[in-house]
Structure 1
Amino acid sequence: MKKTAHIISHTHWDREWYLPYETHHMMLIKTMDTLLDTFENDPEFKYYHLDGQTVLLEDYLEVRPERKELLEKVIKEGRLNIGPWYVLQDEFLTSSESNVRNLQYGHRDANKYGVNACKIGYFPDSFGNMGQAPQILKQAGIDTAAFGRGVKPTGFNNEVSADDKFESPYSEMYWESPDGSKILGILFANWYCNGMEVPADEKDAKVYWDKRIDDATKFASCDQLLFMNGCDHQPIQTDLSQAIKVANNIYRDIEFIHSNFEDYVKTLKEKMPKDLQVIKGELRSQQTDGWYTLVNTASARIYLKQWNQLCQTLFEKVAEPIATMASNFGYKYPHHLFEYGWKSLVKNHPHDSICGCSVDEVHREMVARFDKAKDVAKYIINESLEYITNKINTDKFKHLGEDVYPFVIVNTSGYNRCSIVDTEIDIARKYFREGHPNLIAKEMKKIQLPKYKVVDINGNKIDAKIIDMGIRFGYDLPDDKFRQPYYARYIKVELETNDIKSFGWDTYSLVEDKENSILESKASLINNNILENENIRVEIKENGSVNLLDKSTGKTFKDLCIYENSGDIGNEYIYMKPIGEIPITTKNLKANIEIKEDLEYKAVIEITHKWDIPKSANELLQEEIEEVLEFKHRKSQRLEETVEMEIKTTLILERKGKGLKIVSEFNNICKDHRMRMLFSTDIESNVHYADSIFEVAKRSNSVDKAWQNPSNCQHQHAFVNIHDDDYGLTIANKGLNEYEILNDGRNTIAVTLIRSVSELGDWGVFETPEAQCLGNHKAEIEVIPHGKNLYESYKEAHIFQIPMITKQMSIQNEELGSENGLLALDGYGIMCSTLKLDDKKGNKILRVYNVSDKSTELDINICKFKGDKYISNILEEQTQNNIDNKVNLRQSEILTIGIGK
């Protein structure tokens, strides 16, 4: 039977990597110019796959707008295939909603050219693939994915053993999400360059194709062979048409065609066997030797991951919900601003960008992009908040006197929550138009402040810390006149809120405290080195470690918060401990322990370690890098010379807190090392659970029999958890994406705080001194114990990442109540992903997902948004009409609910 060789032309285009963005950008212009010229000059050059990412169209037209008409022409003719993504993201280091926005903007960009996005879930070079990808893609009408990493076929005899349930004998297989969604998966078993630079000379072509046909046949499930004509930043092969003719002349039993993914997949489905292997869930290369999973990109340049967590949270958990809430009262939802802001952020999500595995110039530009995205999100938040606060009734505070300063606190999470919140109150303001700035400043400073207190809308006093912040310059930017500068006197207020409803708000006021009551002894959460509230008891040991008692279960967790330090002679991709080195810890190091705050609602203790750490690796490491010696074969060690690193660890226990909050701050003055915080669980379990994309992934604590790497680090988002039938421990974080379950007999959770290396580490010598991450760093963690209801700890971990937002108001008699909750959700194992508006009809969009291992029911028990509810897919296209307030979700299902206008 005659075989078909499908040759798909492409280039895998990293927007930035071993060269800065603009250098790659200029190369892209040249490549795209050549491509369009080739389309014009050679009608036999039929198709080109534009790497699955539409951002390249924007990049090209930014420099070559005059070629837009020709670009549109070849797209509409179906010759240039675009989408389905906006960028080729790293899936594990970008949030659930970021992955969705990436898919949505890729589809919308394709639609702008009058075509549908290419319906191939394209992951050519992702460093592992998310377990929910089949469900996400299937909801977007995509039933096939092509990927380069994460699963390894057993190889050359087309055989697979019964034990290898995650592997496939072929490059074609079925890929199934935890919810049961299944799609066709195509592995680039011979990589996505197995058809690059095809010779047009007959003699060379025979040698070339003999090997490549043999290699492809070893993995193919049928007579349809895939050859990817391109590679990283590969120039266009302008003589490909001639090369294909030569190949067809040589081989009479093979038909060589210039193909595209749509045609290839259609024919493949007709010819492939029906009993392909089914691979399930995450594809993380766990059935390999463990050296090239590239998971340690999760700890390369951690500052980027922290920036990303901040920006993602601001968009999907604050800006979109608050703008949606405001839209319910007439605010015009700024779709254009969201698209600009999201795209600015998502441009930092390609795998060589967010993974921190590029040259220093790339990551400097990323910080500027993060700053840009953050400012867009904050602008939308402020505009939306201003709109809502102008409609909230604060008239009830009027009877409290003349000096009354109301403010609102808004909860944009999908969960009811109480929290400790900071806000600033402007108690006096004078504009420059009213006098000379110097005189105004002096006048503001002389204001005599009374004693203040904070009250809620019912006049109840709220425990708070009130600090005079002095004067500060500020300015208004009115819509109808020039900027208005002023000086104002500020009071900083920190308070413990009441329970604020999900997607809701509550109002408070700063007022003069005229009571002169006898000072009562206050309740304290501190007793020497013990912090205690109604939920947990925390004992701080002499070495700065923590023993934590969960009062609900009686379980005590010992030896928490110990620091570990080890050398790292690897690179941005891969951690490598020097051979024979034993990591050092603070277990036997005496710490200084100091009470910093002892308030009714909060206790703060600061722990200081002064720790002698090896200064760097020895000189041999530089020689090994310059010789491009693979990390596994390096002999370098750390210097005996040490430097003293001071680490400040702040422990915070809130009166109503369910966990212990931790802030670690240090000035990194060492090189070539990794520092982690350790949390011993002493829980007997062979598995653990990590927050991932639309799921809490269940992962084994042990490695595959083929595993050789001494390290088994893995990805997380908001938390990692270990539990048994009775109790467990959840370690939440903000932007710390790497953890490891140690094989130490205690199931210790190790969370990476910093990793310092000096080279990119792929195919040549690319030194990256800024990847040493010298300077000041800050890491935030929450330790959350739990009993049988582990999902409450998962919610707490998500809440830990989401800030409350506040705004000062005036006394006003307006239409909205002083407290409110617009949408309340309930359901076992249900997590809230986001609340937003769709950009086509302006309907409200609520997305949730089920992290439990069984079907569950979502109950929308409060909904103050008007309109009929319906089910939509991940692209926010309606799929099911009117539903009621209770909806069933199957195990691990992602559910999007629309609410009409």
Structure 2
Amino acid sequence: MSEQRDESISNQAISREVDTYTGSKTTAHIISHTHWDREWYLPYEKHHMRLISLMDSLLDKLEQDPDYKSFYLDGQTIILEDYLQVRPEHKERLEQHIRNGRIFIGPWYILQDAFLTSGEANVRNMQIGHRDAERYGNPSKIGYFPDTFGLVGQTPQLMLQSGITNVFFGRGVKPTGFNNTVSDRGYESSFSELLWTGPDGSEVLGILFANWYSNGNEVPVDEAEAKVYWKRKLDDAQKYASTGELLFMNGCDHQPLQLDLPEAIRTAQKLYPDMEFIHSNFNDYLTSLKRASQRQLSSVKGEFRSQRTDGWGTLVNTASARVYLKQMNQLGQVMLEKVAEPLATFAHLLGQAYPHHLFTYAWKTLMQNHPHDSICGCSVDEVHREMVTRFDKSRHVAESIVDESIEVIAQAVDTTGFSRFGEDALPLVIFNTSGWERSGIVSAELEVVRLYFREGYTLEEASHRAKKVDLSGRVLVDSEGGPVACKVEDLGLQFGYDLPDDRFRQPYMSRRVRLTFEVERVPLLGLKIYAWLRSNVETDSSSLFQGSRSMENDLLHVEIADNGSFTLTDKGTGCSYKDLGVYENVGDIGNEYMFRQPEGEQALTTEDLIADIRVLEDTPFLASLEIIHHWEIPASADETLGQEQRELVYYPYRQAQRSRQTVPLTIRTVISLSRNSRGVSMETTFNNQAKDHRLRALFPTEIHSGEHRVDSMFEIAIRDNEPAPEWENPSNTQHQQAFVDVSGEQTGLTVANLGLNEYEVLRDGRNTIAVTLLRSVGELGDWGWFPTPEAQCPGEHTARLEIIPHDGDGIQSGAYREAYQYQIPWIVKQTGIHEGTVAPDYAPFDWKSTELAFSSMKMNELSGDVLLRWYNMSHSIAELIIKPRTQQYDFYKSNILEEQGEDIVMDSSDESLQSVKPHEIITLGFKLKT
């Protein structure tokens, strides 16, 4: 076995000498816990009721039995909220046991999925978990990931920045198959203890639950039963452990408390007098582990994605289960971290109070959807219905914060430059919260007239007057008065109302228009103003069309083929990418966790379909083509699948095929090119009436490369196109966040997405990037038969992508910046003509660095300081230059917990030059000078 381990370590795991042995006694550390999925195979409230019973019994046990030493509360403080929501009278009892070190809480708010939640969501999770835990005592400094479906590469750095030097986890490095069974070959780590190194060099001690986080569950009190139990359990633990300090987890999913554990420990001690059995905790276990001999631990680097397995048990296809949830999550995260927080910070710098309490509420509501069984879409239907409501609630809070913030900012902008055009000029403030200077297409609704009913108008009079408003003779201009090409749509009469702070609601009738235009070079984290006004100045009337099916700007040329696919030519490199946007459809006889294509099935594609194609938009700043595919696909799997599901046939062994009955699948695609864009946008809409299938969009790159790059949490991860030798699954789908990229020496293609978290780089000789748009399945999977008809995702769906060619370097070319900006909506606010302290083209901060990606701007609740965060996308040292535009600050380095670190000296021009290590996550604090 040792030879197999040494061979498997090779490049991924390098042996390293650590502490020498200091003792010979074997100790069994038994840690009581329960892994609490808030919702999964039962709806939330049914799990919730069981949690109340567990916590009641735990408090009673701790008070009645001093030999029941302690309990680990699953690393997530939300359990406290859930319990006290029903049992507020037990708060003092709970707090007493936490402060006495008998209940360990934190460090997280919830146990989140790693790959489907954003970097900032993970930071807020750690921040809120620490803050909530500190109200009761000290947060547990345990990096706890018991059941996470793999782990991102930046986890070690995030742990160290949180003051945590360890990670306890259940998946990602050791071969894991059905029901979490482990293989005896192909190890990535020599032992269950390992050293985990992140891309920046951060290193933590990793503890793999090699025999799962239930390996000490239900310990027998009876001697005969205990003898059999401990013989097996000790052999299993010693098989993987590097020391005599053996870890046994006494608990499992929703596991009730083992009330007779002290008696069971005494039985074990009687049977094995030469060993020590203790009711332990993670802190004591780690202390003992560090004292003991660790021999040689493997140093495992980067992501934990279970690549050294047969590929059937990775649970990776949760990235495409119920895609609508992922799309709602992407929007919810972006609205908080990339829109509401920076705008509220901007407004705070103008004197507005920063709504910390609202952000905490919105983040908590959003994060209640982030546990792995929730955001992964692998629960029963009732769970995911409730998630939709939470997503809406969190987003509504974010939108309310945005509305209040932009009102404050807009009122502070000096728009008097438009007064020379007359009193009926209608100014607009355009906000760019992306963190980079930005150009792009903006669509804004504008009120031309508003008539309040309080002014004595009847409904008929208000409607009549609003209809008579003349919309002709108006143009859009920038802050200098220069004309801007603009498309105007008359939206007609619109009812609306105000909700003033000092009076009853104020209804009105208005006349609105929608303006669509291209803005240019809006400053990062800043604003720019425009106005729609009366003028006889003529605007541009050119076109981006070069024919009925071809579009072109200074950077790109797009040509649509008869089958609806397109060829994209990068004028800078001269490279053309053909057959982009072909759709692929295959059967799926798997479940919410894993995709399984029927054996021997040939994929259906739109390659041989003739599409309906027409011009949709033709303006000087935007060209769009509409493409319609009329397709017939199988209605579902055949009857065999239902039988196999009920009989719990493991999905790789299923024999079901697709039905011969077909249903229509009409796909509407809009391909758009704007005047200054670096990429081509693609919007796909369809009404799904089929079951048991998967729909993907294909983007052949024709680039010769054995690896690709993908956006992950605070990292551009590099992954091999070919899976490991152990991989047997024909599919090699993976997780992404904002984009995936295939690059060569001089060419590259980046495909950005909005909430489409699953992709595959096909082994088809073309390095085709395949992005999953929909996956329809009818069962949860895992340990039983749980039908999930709503996971078939019937009805209307929309998917959005941007295809960005570049010169082979996604960082230096700006392709990755474009992909990140694609995630973030433009924000627009209509305002009036008024004086103000904010210039018409303004941002509170300016920063420069090609290699850094901007991550967040927010306020610290305790200090009131501004916190800005970036991360280095590159493998080299980067330089960050940052300068406040107006106010004077003292700078300091911080971490993800926003703790104040070393001060930063500014130069004479109030600029700061920071050196940023490869892949470093850097947070800077800005304290107003007094």
Instruction: Tell me the TM-score normalized by structure 2.
Output: 0.95
The match for 2:752 among 709, 732, 742 is 732
1:301 maps onto 2:328 in alignment = no
Matched residue type, 1:186:
I
Deviation at 1:169, TM superposition (A): 1.5
Checking the alignment, whether the CA contact within 8 Å between 1:589 and 1:609 is kept in structure 2 is yes
SS of the equivalent of 1:497 reads strand
The answer to which of 704-713 and 782-791 deviates more is: 782-791
Deviations 1:38-65 (A, max 9, x none): 1111111111000000001000000000
42, 48, 51: which one aligns with 1:28: 51
Task: State how 1:648-663 maps to structure 2 within 5 Å.
Answer: 648-663=668-683
Correspondence 1:581-660 to 2 at 5 A: 581-660=601-680
Match of 2:695 among 654, 658, 675: 675
Distance 1:524 1:696 in 2: 33
Other structure's SS at 2:521 match:
coil
User: Partner residue of 1:540?
Assistant: 560
Q: Say whether residues 1:68 and 2:106 are aligned partners.
A: no
Find the residue that maps to 1:231 and give its secondary structure. Answer: coil
Q: Secondary structure of the equivalent of 2:602? A: coil
Do the aligned partners of 1:727 and 1:786 also contact (CA within 8 Å) in 2?
A: yes
Q: Which moved more, 1:769-778 or 1:401-410?
A: 401-410
**In the aligned structure 2, how far is the partner of 1:883 from the partner of 1:353?**
45
Contact 2:176 2:306 in 1 (8 A): no
**What is the distance in 2 between the residues matched to 1:79 and 1:463?**
67
What pairs up with 1:79-478 in 2 under 5 angstroms?
A: 79-113=102-136, 115-152=137-174, 167-273=188-294, 275-434=296-455, 435-478=457-500
The one-letter code matched in structure 1 to 2:70 is: Y
CA distance in 1, matches of 2:905, 2:310: 49
The letter for the 2-side match of 1:726 is Q
2:878 maps to which residue? 856
Q: Is 1:745 aligned to 2:765, yes or no?
A: yes
Contact 2:321/2:378 (<8 A) preserved:
yes
Shift of 1:788: 4.3
Instruction: Find out whether 1:758 has 2:781 as its counterpart.
Output: no
* Contact 1:12–1:232 (Cα < 8 Å) also in 2: yes
Equivalent position SS for 2:488 = strand
Distance 1:789 1:137 in 2: 30
1:48 to 49, 71, 74: 71
SS at match of 1:790: coil
**How far did residue 863 of structure 1 move?**
4.3
Change in CA separation of 1:724 and 1:160 when aligned onto 2, cut-off 3 Å: farther
The range that moved more, 471-480 or 567-576, is 471-480
Distance in 1, matches of 2:379 and 2:184, equals 37
Cα distance, 1:159 vs structure 2: 13
**3-state SS in 1 of match to 2:585:** strand
How many Å separate the matches in 1 of 2:746 and 2:259?
65
Say whether residues 1:888 and 2:915 are aligned partners.
Answer: yes
**TM-score, length basis structure 1:** 0.98
- Deviations, residues 703-761 of structure 1 (Å, cap 9, x unaligned): 11111100000000000001011110000000000000100000000000000000000
Paired AA for residue 314 in structure 1: M
Partner residue, 2:32: 9
Q: Is the 8 A contact 2:640 2:656 kept in 1?
A: yes
Query: What displacement does 1:448 show?
Result: 3.2
Match 1:666 to one of 662, 683, 686: 686
Identity %: 52
Rate the CA distance shift 1:350–1:821 in 2: closer, same or farther, 3 A: same
* Cα distance in 2 for residues equivalent to 1:864 and 1:576: 58
Q: Which runs of 5+ in 2 are unaligned?
A: 1-23, 907-911
Assess if the C-alpha contact under 8 Å between 1:160 and 1:168 holds in 2. no
Q: Which runs of 5+ in 1 are unaligned?
A: none
The answer to whether the Cα contact below 8 Å between 1:467 and 1:492 also exists between their aligned partners in 2 is: yes
Aligned-residue Cα RMSD (Å) equals 1.5
Count of residues in correspondence between the two structures: 893
Question: What are the superposed Cα offsets for residues 126-177 of structure 1, whole Å, 9 maximum, x if unpaired?
Answer: 000010000000011100110000011799xx9999xx7x711210000010
Q: Aligned partner of 2:339: which letter?
A: V
Alignment-mate amino acid for residue 643 of structure 2: E
What does the per-residue CA deviation read over 1:531-565, in whole Å, with 9 as the maximum and x for residues that have no partner? Answer: 11000101111111111110110111111101000
* Corresponding residue number in structure 1 for 2:925: 898
* Contact preservation (8 Å) 1:543, 1:591: yes
* Aligned residue runs from structure 1 range 774-793, under 5 A: 774-791=794-811, 792-793=814-815
More deviation, 767-776/639-648: 639-648
Name the CA distance, whole Å, in 2 between partners of 1:633 and 1:337: 50
CA drift at 1:275: 2.8
Question: What displacement does 1:492 show?
Answer: 1.1
Aligned counterparts of 1:277 and 1:605: Cα–Cα separation in 2: 54
Shift of 1:189: 0.2
Q: Deviations over 1:660-692 (max 9, x none)?
A: 000000000111000000000000000000000
| Residue aligning to 1:514 | 536
Deviation string for 1:437-486 (max 9, x for gaps)? 34322332233333321011111001111111111111111111111111
Separation in structure 2 between the aligned mates of residue 560 and residue 629 of structure 1, nearest angstrom: 37
| Corresponding residue number in structure 2 for 1:800 | 822
For residues 29 and 354 of structure 2, the distance between their equivalents in structure 1, rounded to whole angstroms, comes to 46
How far apart, in 2, do the equivalents of 1:459 and 1:334 lie? 36
CA positional deviation for 1:213: 0.6
The equivalent residue for 1:874 is: 896
Aligned residue number for residue 21 of structure 2 = none
**Structure 2: distance between partners of 1:293 and 1:319:** 35
Partner secondary structure for residue 493 of structure 2: strand
Q: Which amino acid aligns with 2:810?
A: L
Q: How far 1:865 sits from its partner (Å)?
A: 4.6
Query: C-alpha distance in 1, partners of 2:306/2:415?
Result: 57
How far apart are 1:201 and its partner, in Å? 1.0
Tell me the SS of whatever aligns to 1:879: coil
Determine the structure 1 residue equivalent to 2:507.
485
CA distance in 1, matches of 2:567, 2:47: 52
Give the equivalent residue in structure 2 for 1:19.
42
Distance in 1 of aligned mates of 2:794 and 2:671: 24
Give the conservation status (yes or no) of the 8 Å contact 1:20–1:359: yes
1:203-257 Cα distance to aligned partner (Å, 9 max, x none): 1111111110110000010100000000000000011111111111110121100
Structure 1 SS opposite 2:581: strand
3-state SS, counterpart of residue 853 of structure 1: coil
Worse-matched range after superposition: 271-280 or 445-454: 445-454
Contact 2:544–2:553 under 8 Å retained in 1: no
Partners of 2:698 and 2:770 within 8 A in 1: yes
Q: Distance in 2 between matches of 1:605 and 1:97?
A: 36
- Report the CA distance between 1:360 and its aligned residue: 0.2
The residue type equivalent to 1:616 in the other structure is S
User: Over residues 545-601 of structure 1, what are the superposed CA-to-partner deviations in whole Å (9 max), with x where a residue is unaligned?
Assistant: 111110110111111101000000000000000011011111111111110111000
